[in-house]
Each structure stands twice: as C-alpha cells, then as structure tokens.
Amino acid sequence: MSRPHVAEPVVMLATVLQWLLLSILTGTVVGAGCTVFLRLLFAVEGRAYGLPWWSQLGLLLAGGLANGLLLHYGYRRRNGLQDSPIVAVNQQRGQMPLHTAWIKPTAALVTLGCGGSAGKEGPCAHIGASLAAGIGRMLRLNSELRKRLLACGVSAGFASVFGTPIAGAIYGVEMLAIGRIRHDFLFPGIVAGVTALQVCKSLGVPYPVYHIDFAAGFTELLFLKTVLIGVLCGAAAWLFVELLQLARRLFGRLRTRYALWPPLVPVLGGALVALLVLMVPDDYLGLSLPVMERALHGEAVPHLGFLWKALLVAITLGSGFYGGIVTPQFVIGAVLGGAFAHLFGLAPALGAAVGLAAVVASASNAPIAAILMGVELFGAGALLHVAGACVAAYLVIGHRSVYPAQQIAYSKSSWIFARADLPVGQEKVRLSYGLLRWWRRRRQRNKGGQGA
C-alpha cells in the first residue's frame, strides 16, 4: 500500500497546531495556578527553622492533625477515581477527580509550614494534572488526547517549580514507566512547560541561578569518578526508597493494630520528627533548600546529612503528611555529593551538582530527565559530568521507585525478570531463568569436582 504523500504532512502539521493551542492553554492555566501555590508557600515555609523545640513540637503536632483531617475527610467523594497522575494516565484514561484538586496543595502548605520534611513539586504536579484533566473534560477530548494533556499538566507543574521546562517535560513522561518513553507526549509537554515557566516568571516567581565550575579539562578519569559518585548516589537512593516504604508499612501496622483514628497517625509522625530534631539539625526540616544551596556553593556539609534528610522525609510522608518527593531527592543528592566529593578528588560544588542529578535519576527512575535537569540548572558544561553518574545511579537502585504506581515496561538487566506493565509496588522482580540455570550448572560442576 502506498503512503499518502500529501495527506500525511498535512495531518502532522495539523497535529502540531492542535498541540500548540492545547499545550499553550494548559501551560498558561497551570502556570497561573502554580504561581498562586508558590506565592503561598514562600509565605509559610521556613518559619520552623530556629524556633524553640517546644514550638517546633507544637507546630508538627498541629500540622499532623490538620493533614490527617484534611486527607481523611477530603477524599470521601472521589467517584472511584484516584488522583495520582501516574494512575490517571496508565489506568484511568486521563481522568482525575477535579473536586479534590485543592486538597493536596493545601495539605502540602500545612506540611511545609509546620516543619514537615517534604518537597514542593508534588503539589504543583498535582495542580497541573488536575487542571489539565479538567480542560480535557471541558473540551470533551477522547481518552488518548486526555492522557497527553494530563502529562502536559504534570510537565508544566514541574517546570513551574524548578525552572526546567525541557527536563520537566521528559520527567512528566519518564515517571510513567521504567524503560519506556512516549515520544508523542514530548512536544505537548515541552510547549506546556515553556509556557508555564514564562507565566510564572512574568508573575514574579523567582528561580535560583547556580554557578558551578565545570571548566576543568574533562578526561576519562574524571568521567569514571563521576560514575563512582553515581554508584554512591544510587545506593543512597535505594536506602531512601527503602526507608520510605518501611515507614509506610510501620505506620500502617500501627494504625491497624491499635485501631487508630486515621487523622491521628500523622500526629504520631509529627511527634517522632520533633524527637529526631533533638538529635539532628533543624535545617533538615521543611524543604531544606539552605542546606542544598550550601552544598552547591562548595561549603562543608555533614557526611550523614543525606541520611538525616532521608529519615525525616520517610517519617513525614510515611506517617500521612502530604508533600513532594523530588525536592528531597535534590537535597539528598547535593548533600551526599558535596560531602563525599573529596574521596574522588573532586571539588565539593561539582560533586554536589552531580549528586543532585544522580539521585533524581535513580529514585525517580528518570535518567534522561535528570541529565537534562543538570544541564538546565547548571549549564551545558554539566552534561558530560552528570550523564554517566545519572545512568549508573539509575541502574544501581534496581527496580525500586519513590512512586509505587510507576510501571515496569522493561527490566534494567537481562539477568533480571520482571513482568511488563505492572506497578513497582506489586511486581516482585526475580533472577532470570538463564542466570539461574547457569548458577545451577556451576554448583553441580563444583560438587562434582569436590567429589572427585
């Protein structure tokens, strides 16, 4: 059958025009919505630093109760739909419950305002996905177009928070499944991300500028050093994911065993965070951006700072507070890379920049987005430094994720078997049959040799 030589280019041009209109509309709406959230966040976040311990305890207890009440009673009417963007794209044909769009952003403001350790991008991604789903419903788009539009909203939300429209577009697609990227989502996501960022900038949202010295000659040895940092960051991301899952299980068991009223569980989490603050610095509460910035400026940071942040985030989110999960990855990676850069003969600031990107690549299973994020945050000179580290970290963490709903499209290793299109929270990966057969044959040969 001959291809339609004239019709196909016309249809593709119409597709470009279609997504220009839809993506610009979505990016504009999401950018405005995220600006409102970020303005409110700037007003409330960081107030817990330096307060007397009793004040921090009171804020965390009150914030835990407010989170619990908000999430418990606010989600009683969901019409059977989940409000996870990953689930909405993978399982719900691009639909999300619009009437719950305000709940998570409000809960995040409470969490970060009272000192809970979490991130700011999750609420913006939620705002973007909810508003995009609402636009798709209003325009009566089909399910495939709604999926793409919802991914646009997520990309626009990430771009609004971090000022990285290209990385945000890739992240909004890469987070859906391990090992698979929907290329038809990219153009809408990039247009929506650029639009949302420009809207936020025009409305006065500030974005930090980092100056990392990548001018030194790049060598094969330097590349191998960055790969080693990536391996270290992959191990730290593995620990972070495991702590997060452990905290969720433990608080879930407490609630079940003692028949606790659900809004009280975050109160217990807040009390535990307050107790930990007696032993660790309180600048790991909230977003912890001052710690991250010190690391990126090459200042000394504690070697165990990454562990403190991971532990506080795991307790905060695992107990039922709501907040983002990517900003903590920034902090963990920057602190880890900055603290251990000297072991590899690297400048602390360079190690912090590489670590920041590598932890995002591994914990979120988004290596391409993380590489581009490094370029957009630190300049084109960062590309060769972060690329090897991001891919190494992505492999080291295995088939784990901070997003339990993230699906496994392809296994990361030919020696590992994982069924496709199952969430990481449900699939139990195992060694491949070929590797097990090789291992059995080797053991049989060893036994035969010993018997002889």
* Assigned token pair, 424: 């990481």
Domains 10-202 and 221-396 share a fold: yes
pLDDT for 209 equals 85
**Hey, where are the domains in the chain?**
10-202, 221-396, 413-451
Report CA Rg, the chain.
23
Within 10 A of 143 (CB to CB), how many other CB atoms are there? 11
pLDDT for 247 equals 97
Q: Could you state, in chain order, the average pLDDT of each consecutive group of 10 residues for the chain (452 residues)?
A: 71 91 96 96 85 92 95 75 82 81 92 94 92 92 90 92 91 87 89 96 92 82 95 97 96 94 95 94 91 95 96 96 95 97 94 97 95 94 94 93 88 75 70 62 66 54
Q: SS3 string of the chain? A: CCCCCCHHHHHHHHHHHHHHHHHHHHHHHHHHHHHHHHHHHHHHCCCCCCCCHHHHHHHHHHHHHHHHHHHHHHCCCCCCCCCCHHHHHHCCCCCCCHHHCCHHHHHHHHHHHHCCCCECHHHHHHHHHHHHHHHHHHCCCCHHHHHHHHHHHHHHHHHHHHCCHHHHHHHHHHCCEECCCCHHHHHHHHHHHHHHHHHHHHCCCCCCCCCCCCCCCCCHHHHHHHHHHHHHHHHHHHHHHHHHHHHHHHHHHHHHHCCCCHHHHHHHHHHHHHHHHCCCCHHHCCCCHHHHHHHHCCCCCCCCHHHHHHHHHHHHHHCCCCCECHHHHHHHHHHHHHHHHHHHCCCHHHHHHHHHHHHHHHHCCCHHHHHHHHHHHHCHHHHHHHHHHHHHHHHHCCCCCCCCCCEECCCCCCCEECCCCEECCCCCCEECHHHHHHHHHHHHHHHHHHHC
pLDDT for 434 equals 59
Q: Is 221-396 a CATH 1.10.3080.10 domain?
A: yes
pLDDT for 365 equals 95
pLDDT for 7 equals 83
* C-beta of residue 125 within 8 angstroms of C-beta of residue 105: no
* C-beta of residue 70 within 8 angstroms of C-beta of residue 108: no
pLDDT for 325 equals 94
pLDDT for 272 equals 97
* Assigned token pair, 50: 């330096």
Q: Strands 416-417, 430-431: parallel, antiparallel or unpaired by DSSP?
A: antiparallel
CATH number of 10-202: 1.10.3080.10
pLDDT for 2 equals 57
Amino acid, single-letter form, for residue 238: W
pLDDT for 421 equals 72
Q: How far apart are CA 232 and CA 393, in angstroms?
A: 7
Residues 6+ apart with CB under 8 A from 225: 344, 345, 346
pLDDT for 332 equals 98
* C-beta of residue 233 within 8 angstroms of C-beta of residue 333: yes
